[in-house]
């Protein structure tokens, strides 16, 4: 009879153990994230922004993207996968089901534990009155630490982190 109970217990617990085999609840995880503090998408099209998200690793990466409007309202974006050594390039509004307009900040994350750093290029253009203008800025992701065991939707709003301070400025690539 004791053997019977052990077999039943084993059969009942097997699915649970396989779900948490890789990362049991309470495990520390280090993903990657980038915060772009100023992005613009004016409704009249005078000022616009685009993003190029570059996966420099040797395997595909899944990203999530979201935004805070200038007034602090969270705008949920989408998730998408970028192949190894590839990039996803879109007008910033194309990353959202309902694109934010005006000025806002954008948060991009890869929640995979041990994810390699990725790069993001923000490009901003001005088509106002035919005068035109264009600029861009590239940044590399930094570590995002969190703990498993709590349902975390990477598209939910978060407290915006401060940029890391790098003595002597950013390294040249």
How many structural domains is the chain composed of? 1
Which stretches of the chain score pLDDT less than 70?
Answer: 1-25, 129-130, 148-173
pLDDT at 170: 41
Q: Is the residue at 10 inside a domain?
A: no
Is residue 29 within 8 Å of 143, Cβ to Cβ?
Answer: no
pLDDT at 80: 95
The total of other beta-carbon atoms located within 10 Å of residue 95's CB is: 22
Is residue 102 within 8 Å of 121, Cβ to Cβ?
Answer: no
pLDDT at 11: 40
Q: Is the residue at 2 inside a domain?
A: no
Q: Is the residue at 48 inside a domain?
A: yes
Is residue 26 within 8 Å of 148, Cβ to Cβ?
Answer: yes
Q: Is the residue at 106 inside a domain?
A: yes
pLDDT at 71: 86
Helices (H), 67-149: none
pLDDT at 124: 93
Is residue 58 within 8 Å of 85, Cβ to Cβ?
Answer: yes
Q: Is the residue at 159 inside a domain?
A: no
Cα distances from 49 to residues 85, 126, 137, in angstroms, run 23, 9, 11
Domain that holds residue 126: 27-147
Cα distances from 126 to residues 44, 48, 69, 135, in angstroms, run 11, 7, 20, 9
Residue 145: enclosing H or E segment and its boundaries?
strand 142-147
pLDDT at 76: 76
The predicted-structure confidence for 153-163, as pLDDT tens digits, reads as follows: 555 545 444 44
Q: Is the residue at 155 inside a domain?
A: no
Q: Is the residue at 160 inside a domain?
A: no
Instruction: Give the separation between CA 61 and CA 51, rounded to whole angstroms.
Output: 16
pLDDT at 72: 85
CATH number assigned to the domain comprising residue 104: 2.60.290.11
pLDDT at 135: 87
Residue with tokens 């077999």: 7
Q: Is the residue at 18 inside a domain?
A: no
Q: Which structure tokens are listed for 144?
A: 């995002």
């Amino acid at each position: 009879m004791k053997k019977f109970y052990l077999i039943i217990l084993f059969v009942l617990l097997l699915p649970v153990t396989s779900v948490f085999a890789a990362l049991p609840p309470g495990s520390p995880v280090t993903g990657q994230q980038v915060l772009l503090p100023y992005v613009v998408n004016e409704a009249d099209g005078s000022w616009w922004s685009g993003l190029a998200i570059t996966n420099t690793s040797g395997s595909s990466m899944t990203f999530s993207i979201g935004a805070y409007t200038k007034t602090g309202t969270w705008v949920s974006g989408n998730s998408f996968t970028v192949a190894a050594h590839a990039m996803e390039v879109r007008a910033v509004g194309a990353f959202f089901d309902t694109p934010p307009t005006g000025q806002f900040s954008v948060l991009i994350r890869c929640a995979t534990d041990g994810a390699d750093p990725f790069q993001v290029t923000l490009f901003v253009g001005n088509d106002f009155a035919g005068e035109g203008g264009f600029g861009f800025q590239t940044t590399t992701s930094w570590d995002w630490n969190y703990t498993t065991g709590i349902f975390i939707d990477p598209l939910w709003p978060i407290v915006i982190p401060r940029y890391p301070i790098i003595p002597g400025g950013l390294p040249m690539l």
